[in-house]
Structure 1
Amino acid sequence: MWRASSITGRRRSASWCGVISHARFNSSFSLAAGEASFLEAVDIYFDKAAKLAASTPDILNQIKACNNLLKLQFPLKRLDGTVQLIEAYRAQHSHHRLPVKGGIRMAPNVEANETMALAALMTFKCAVVDIPFGGAKGGIKVDPTKYSPIEKEAIIRRYTSELVKKSFIGPALDVPAPDYGTGPQEMAWIKDTYEQLRSDINGSACVTGKPLEEGGIHGRQESTGLGVFFCLREFFTNQEYMKSLGLDLGIKGKSFIVQGFGNVGRHTSTFVQAAGGRVIAIAELDGGLVDETGIGLDIAQIQRYQAQNGTISGFPKAKTVLETSHLLELPCDVLIPAALESQIHAGNATRIQARIIAEAANGPVTPAAEKILEERGVVILPDLLLNAGGVTVSYFEWLKNLNHIHFGRMSRRMEEHGKQEFLNAIEHQFGNGHKLSEDVRRLLVKGNTEADFVSSGLEETMLVSWEKVRNTAKQRGCNLRTAAYLIAIERIATCYRLSGIFP
């Protein structure tokens, strides 16, 4: 038997709430007395920006409210014959644009308020980078490391079937994606289950983050980390910020500490190192690494070691630290929390020595910690913008699935042919008998692949959004997070006003 229940009620300060390869890090610590929960933190950040918005209270209340929260409970028969009751959620925060979009996580601490908070962040994140989705989030309350692949598949397929029954999934309704504890394989199971239950020509667009063979897109795995890097790169070219922090322009030579070496942390570290940055420490749940050479950790070697051993702990070319919480407090130019929410809080904010915090995770800095850090002159690059690369490329994957053709298929050879003809004409007219080498010619005539389109589209999205956030912060006299929330609020409010629901 299964039981799905709808929960109604109020969340704090909201008008109403209707029907109801991964970084590993501890999120079970207790916040200091009086410090906001994750959901309350999102509300606090929202309220701070709402005071600067021109929208009326009724629109603000609607933007803030979680529209739908679905709670599911269903049985799982385990391989040892026992039956376990699985608890799961799917929150749809805003339907101002459809479909709603957001990941599905598998973690033992999943609960309703966390799911609603993450769904709200997705709403605002999509609005900041001008992606036409509402926000959603899902969670299954299990530790995926304690289940066999067969058991995980059963959980994912049952969860998906329940979402289908409740119309909480579909290419035009609600499109999940990977999150903490899930990846391409789980997304493939979701796609297959949906297509078994629904005859839909656009069925592959019901979920993103899929393997390439199942309709995924080149560049999705590294997209969040690459988006973080693009924003960091632009931030370090800003003379005003660098002067205020006493830093030289550019990433080269700057020191970085990364918390979480999952998909986001790994790729962010790779791009930072390629740009000349030094990753001096990595913190993971089961052990961290500290560079003792002064030149930075070798990210590629650590990735190979992790792939072989299932952990970064014990990597021979760095010092292993078992108690990793203090690694966040080491001196560095940039601290990149790329794990879970509320990792920097009132209890450790006074000991953070980074000059810049780049939020690659969702909600890693609590409001109390933000106040402490900003009073000390620390600049925080907010999650709403910084980690939006994942949903941006998910949008590209969704478009690819709806169009039933990969990017570049209709244009790449035509583009290469045109370039060939152009070079031939140049050589004939001005070459005086000289011809380009084959290597140079091959480089110049190369047509754009899907990966090229994705990278270019992501860069354009992140750079335009960064410029908008930076200018808004300067014009409105607020920090970057408040500016990002304000942009999101005003864009969503415009949707509601144009709909005619609100005056």
Structure 2
Amino acid sequence: MAKNETMEGRSDASAGDAAQVIDRQAQPRVVTTPPPGDRSAELPRATAYEVAQAQFNMVADFMDLDPDLRAYLSRPQRELIVHFPVRMDSGEMRIFTGFRVHHNTAKGPTKGGIRYHPDVTLDECRALAMWMTWKCALMNLPYGGAKGGVIVDPHDLSRGELERLTRRYATEISFFIGPERDIPAPDVGTNAQIMAWIMDTYSMHRGYSIPAVITGKPVSIGGTVGREYATGLGITYVTRAVLKQRFGRGLEDIRVAIQGFGNVGSWTALSMHERGARVVAVSDRFGGVFNEKGLDIRHLMRHVQETGSVTGFAGGEPLSNRELLELPVDVLVPAALEGQITRENAPRIQASLVAEGANGPTTPEADRILEERGILVIPDIICNAGGVVVSYFEWVQGLQSYFWNESEIRRRMEQTLLDNLEAVIGVTVRRGCNLRTAAYVTAIERISEAVRVRGFYP
């Protein structure tokens, strides 16, 4: 078997993303550089954890949060760092570093993705675990937030190397996870097959199959229908509802630009396209493609399956990720990694609405700039929550060994998202704040109530 020939899908930001292991030497490369005089790349950027803490502290100030609760919720509950060996195809032994962070368990076991990426850090996992706590609370799910990852570029590994790495990482964190303790899921650089290996490894250690230990796995071993596209479809549901409520418009002929074309970005593009939106630009880590009249998303997805990138697509013109973010569109969906909209580029954003498909794509400084400019932001913890909602459904079905059909999954997901969006919009009216503040207030109030009822042990 040739190296990397069997994995499917690609990866961008959100819990539920899929990864495709591709031969990097065969892929087109688009290298973009800042224009002359642009020194933005030299400016120091806050880490994801600093952004997450700044967001929390601003809302804690706004709601005058109890100091004890503030101290308790501002830090992760527990953190694990592992260094483990993996035998490569060449016979060489390489040592990899991985993480797993639990932010809070007041409302139940923790939930959060596993990320394979060369830039994974403990601070990033802390931030993503914190954001997952707020997201789960906002969706009224009986979870706290978690996140994990391994410092690795999965595109550099063969299928065998990827499986050995996954099974060893799963073994290292096995005492940290479990169906009643911590339930991982896919994220950037991981997919359903990787979840299957983790589920199998955990089950082999216990001596019997435990499907509920993980979500985002194949349907054939206890996964749920609808999980693959849940995050992207959820973004479409929420964006459509906000457009109607705030702008009096539907998705029909809305101009959309999407940064990131992995699982989240591609399904967002397809689901919006099918509902009448004009997706004029998309991008991935290699570059982007633009068509003023709208891209043919199904043909583009086929092109990505064949080449591994959106670049070189005959149905559009090339553009950079930076250019995509600054296009004059109605809706901008940052669906790649965190920290993409910053104080440097926020003044040049031209979209009327930013729908956060990734976790933490907008820094607090950029948030203020966008608000001052009248650009509405749908925060990540509600916009991309469809993935964790359907992951919850998968977990429940796994525990009960009773499965729902696809229409039921969609109906329940849309109802959960829109019910909680309505609650957030109500807070914006009552407390005179923006959507992000309202979403955080709602989530933190729900967690705070759970903490007050349980009390502090001992």
Q: C-alpha separation between the residues in 1 aligned to 2:10 and 2:310?
A: 13
Give the count of matched residue pairs: 426
Shift of 1:200: 5.4
Q: How far does the alpha carbon of each residue in 1:160-186 deviate from its partner, in whole angstroms, 9 at most, with x for none?
A: 11112xx21110011000000000000
**Letter in structure 1 aligned against 2:296:** D
Match of 1:392 among 389, 394, 397: 389
What is the 5 A alignment of 1:415-426?
none
Partner of 1:17: none
User: Are 2:329 and 1:329 aligned?
Assistant: no
2:254 corresponds in structure 1 to 254
Deviation at 1:312, TM superposition (A): 1.5
* Larger displacement relative to structure 2 (325-334 or 84-93): 325-334
Partner in structure 1 of residue 219 of structure 2: 212
State whether structure 2 residue 160 is matched by structure 1 residue 150. Answer: yes
* Whole-angstrom CA distance in 1 between matches of 2:216 and 2:266: 17
Q: CA RMSD in A?
A: 1.8
TM-score, with length taken from structure 1: 0.82
CA offset digits 1:40-95 (Å, max 9, x no partner): 11111111111233641101211222011100001112111222110000000001
Equivalent position of 2:424 in the other structure: 469
The equivalent of 1:52 in structure 2 is 62
Between 306-315 and 453-462, report the one with greater CA deviation: 306-315
SS at match of 2:324: helix
- 2:12 and 2:265 in contact (8 A); partners too: no
Seen in structure 2, the aligned counterparts of structure 1 residues 314 and 34 have a Cα distance that, compared at 3 Å, is closer
Matching residue of 2:297: 299
Q: Determine if the alignment matches structure 1 residue 22 to structure 2 residue 10.
A: yes
SS in 2 for 1:227: helix
> Does the 8 A contact of 2:11 with 2:190 survive in 1?
no
Distance 1:89 1:155 in 2: 13
Secondary structure of the 1:45 match is helix
Q: What letter is aligned with 1:218?
A: V
- Give the conservation status (yes or no) of the 8 Å contact 1:92–1:100: yes
Cα distance in 1 between the residues matched to 2:208 and 2:129: 26
1:104 aligns to what SS in structure 2?
Answer: strand
8 Å contact kept, 2:12–2:264: no
Which secondary structure state, in structure 2, belongs to the residue aligned with residue 497 of structure 1? helix
Which of 371, 375, 381 lines up with 2:372 in the alignment?
375
Structure 1 residue ranges without an equivalent (≥5): 1-20, 243-247, 408-449
Higher relative contact order (CA 8 A, sep 6+): 2
Tell me, yes or no, if structure 1 residue 499 matches structure 2 residue 446: no
Distance 2:338 2:51 in 1: 10
Residue 97 of structure 1 deviates from its aligned partner by 2.4
Tell me the equivalent position of 1:177: 185
- Whether 1:75 and 2:30 are equivalent positions in the alignment is no
| Map 1:121-136 → 2, pairs under 5 A | 121-136=131-146
Q: Which of 363, 366, 374 is the aligned partner of 2:363?
A: 366
Among 145, 158, 161, the alignment partner of 2:171 is 161
Q: Distance in 1 between matches of 2:455 and 2:124?
A: 32
Contact 1:335 1:354 in 2 (8 A): yes
Which digits, 9 at most, give the CA deviation of each residue in 1:295-317, with x for residues without a partner?
A: x1111111111112222211112
Query: Does structure 1 residue 187 correspond to structure 2 residue 175?
Result: no
Unaligned runs of 5+ in 2: 1-8, 14-30, 35-39
1:402 to partner: Cα distance: 0.3
Which residue in 2 is equivalent to 1:309? Answer: 307
- The secondary structure found in structure 2 opposite 1:210 is coil
Q: Determine the C-alpha separation between the residues in 2 that align with 1:230 and 1:262.
A: 19
Amino acid paired to 1:319 = E
Whether the 8 Å contact between 1:183 and 1:209 is mirrored in structure 2 is yes
- Report the 3-state secondary structure (helix = DSSP H, G, I; strand = E; otherwise coil) of the residue aligned with 2:333: strand
**Partners of 1:55 and 1:493 within 8 A in 2:** no
Tell me the distance in 2 between the aligned counterparts of 1:52 and 1:337: 27
Distance across 1 between alignment mates of 2:354 and 2:442: 21
Hey, what does 2:104 align to over in structure 1?
94
2:322 is aligned with what amino acid? S
> What residue identity is the alignment partner of 1:93?
H
Q: What TM-score comes out, normalization by structure 2 length?
A: 0.90
1:487 — aligned with what? 442
**SS in structure 2 at match of 1:110:** coil
Q: Distance in 2 between matches of 1:496 and 1:76?
A: 41
SS of the aligned residue for 2:361 comes to: coil
Contact 1:237 1:250 in 2 (8 A): yes
The residue identity in structure 1 corresponding to 2:381 is L
Q: CA 1:257 to 1:50, structure 2 compared with 1: closer, same or farther past 3 Å?
A: same
Q: Which among 62, 67, 81 is matched to residue 72 of structure 2?
A: 62
Give the equivalent residue in structure 2 for 1:319.
317
2:433 to 478, 488, 499: 478
Name which of structure 1's ranges 168-177 and 51-60 shifts more when overlaid on structure 2.
51-60
Where 1:335 maps in the other structure, the secondary structure is: strand
Structure 1: distance between partners of 2:45 and 2:449: 33
Is the radius of gyration larger for structure 1 or structure 2?
Answer: 1
The residue type paired with residue 115 of structure 2 is R
CA distance in 1, matches of 2:112, 2:41: 26
Cα displacement (A) at 1:31: 6.6
**What amino acid is aligned across from residue 369 of structure 1 in structure 2?**
A
CA contact (8 A) 1:103 1:176 kept: yes
